[in-house]
Each structure stands twice: as structure tokens, then as C-alpha cells.
Amino acid sequence: MLKINNLHARVEDKEILKGINLTVNAGEVHAIMGPNGSGKSTLASVIAGKEDFEVTEGEVILDKENLEDVSPEDRAHKGVFLSFQYPVEIPGVSVTNFMKTAINESRKAKGLEDMPAKDMLKLIREKSELLEIDRKFLSRSLNEGFSGGEKKRNEIFQMAMLEPKLAILDETDSGLDIDALRVVANGVNKLKTKDNAVIVITHYQRLLEYIVPDFIHVLHDGKIVKSGTKELALELEEKGYDWLKNEAVVK
């Protein structure tokens, strides 16, 4: 589904990604870990097509299509979902209305008409029940006064509604408490199918006890220096990241 080849990216004069190779197949969950500043959020932004970063070498391929000239909006319409590390507040726009607009925008891009109100309500009901989201929450203004956990819940709700092909969840800096970790984990687990894939960026070994990724990758100084299965997270918890610096040199 997603194939990243020798990806280099920079912001201004600073090279941040220094040759990333990553393959994500449908049905898989990948976790990306690594120290602060190693380039995890940058990688997520580059996959989503954010224009602050310049790709200097390599490619991002989604379903055999090179995304080089595809705008962030079109990537979203092709099924790439990136959670916002710092979500915007939109006073006066409810969670429900925001979702209606997002869904209809995405349908429009595919040449479809607006989803009939009845179907929309059904979908909202289904997904909010699946994720155990309180009705009252859906009528609140988007992100206004939301706690960290509520923002996460909202993000997972967006993901559930949009049914992305590839979801990238960047958990960094968000100060997740144990409830928010569960919200994210339950959401990912319940929405997982054989046709979609998820990349979770996290510092929390604990999250990976709930989600259980198929693969874990460690990013260090803009490169993936180690990949493994879930046991790698335990090893990292125990040993930290320092020992991997040497691996980076060896490679």
C-alpha cells in the first residue's frame, strides 16, 4: 500500500530525513518510535504532503502512485489521514458539523453527491457507538475547551468516520493519560481491517501493549536504524535509545 524509498527531506537548509525506506502493507499496524527530534513528525508530514518540507530525494508511493505532485488535500481524498498533533479549535462549529463537511468534501472530490442526511446520521450513530462516544460530545464546538483525552477521542472519531486507507497517528507531545491511551488503542483496534493500515508514532511502550503493532521502527537522526516486532518496544523501554546510535554508524 505505502512504499517509501530513500526519502530525504529538509526544511530550510536543514536535512531532517536522511534516507528513509519503509513498506506498509494493507492490514498492518506499524509503530514508529525514536528520540525527540529524530524526524518522526516530519516523516508523517511528508507522507501527508505538507508543504513546509522539501523532498530532495526519494519517493513516497501510495498504491503504486508516486505522490510527488499530489497536494495534501488530494492525498487525504486518496485515503491518507494524519492526526493533528496540535488540533485547531473552531468555535461555533460542532464536532458533527465538522465531520459532515469533511465527509462531503471527500465525496465531492470523488465526484459523488453529498451524503443524504439520513445516512449521515446513521453513520455518526454507528461510529460513535463503536467508539463509545457520548452524544453530548458530538454537539460541542470542535476542540474548544477539549481536554487532551477528548481531543484524542475526537481524532479517532474523525478517523472512524473517514475510514482512511492509511491512518497516521502522531501521539508525540500530547501528554496522553492512560484513558487517552485506551481511546487511541481501542479506536485503532476496532477500526483495523485487512484493507487499511495504521502508522502510530509514539513514545509509549504502554500504548503498544494495547495496540500490538506488526512492526516497530526506530528513527534516529532521520534514518530508520532498527526495525523489529513488538519485542523491540520492550527492549527500548529497558535500554533506551542510546545503544542504537552505534547501529546507525554501523549501517
Q: Give me the residues that bind ligand ATP (CB under 6 A), please.
A: 11, 14, 16, 34, 36-42, 52, 172-173
Chosen from Mg ion, ligand ATP, none, partner binding at 36 (C-beta under 5 to 8 Å by type): ligand ATP
Q: Which of 38, 41, 96, 205 binds Mg ion (CB under 5 A)?
A: 41
* CA-based nearest residue to 219, from 248, 250, 251: 248
| List of long-range contacts for 207-210, beta carbons under 8 Å, 24+ apart | 207/171, 207/176, 207/181, 208/31, 208/233, 210/181, 210/182, 210/185, 210/186
User: Taking the complex as a whole, how short is the minimal distance between the CB of residue 145 and Mg ion, in angstroms?
Assistant: 24
Contact predicate 59/7, CB 8 Å: yes
217 binds, among ligand ATP, Mg ion, none (CB under 5 to 8 A by kind): none
Reported residue count of the chain is 251
Residue closer to ligand ATP by CB (options 108, 239) is 239
Sheet holding 14-24, edge to edge: 14-24, 2-11, 54-62, 65-66
CA 221 to chain centre: 20
Angstrom distance (rounded) from CA 160 to CA 127: 6
Q: How far is the CB of 156 from ligand ATP (least distance, A)?
A: 19
**How many residues sit close enough to Mg ion to count as binding (CB under 5 A)?**
3
Q: Which is nearer to ligand ATP, 34 or 213 (CB)?
A: 34
The contacts of residue 175 (CB under 8 Å, 6+ apart) are 148
User: Is 24 or 33 the residue whose CB approaches Mg ion more closely?
Assistant: 33
List phi, psi (to 5°) of 235.
-65, -40
Q: Return the residue matching grid coordinates 510527488.
A: 68
Least CB distance from residue 114 to Mg ion, whole Å?
35
| Cβ-closest position to Mg ion | 41
Picked from ligand ATP, Mg ion, none, the partner binding residue 52 (CB below 5 to 8 A depending on kind) is ligand ATP
As measured in angstroms, the least distance from the Cβ of 220 to ligand ATP is 9
Residue 203 as a binder of Mg ion (CB under 5 A): the answer is no
- For Mg ion, which is the closer residue by CB, 38 or 106? 38
Here's the x/- map for Mg ion, 143-182, by CB under 5 A: it reads as -----------------------------x----------
Instruction: Write out the residues near Mg ion by the rule CB under 5 A.
Output: 40-41, 172
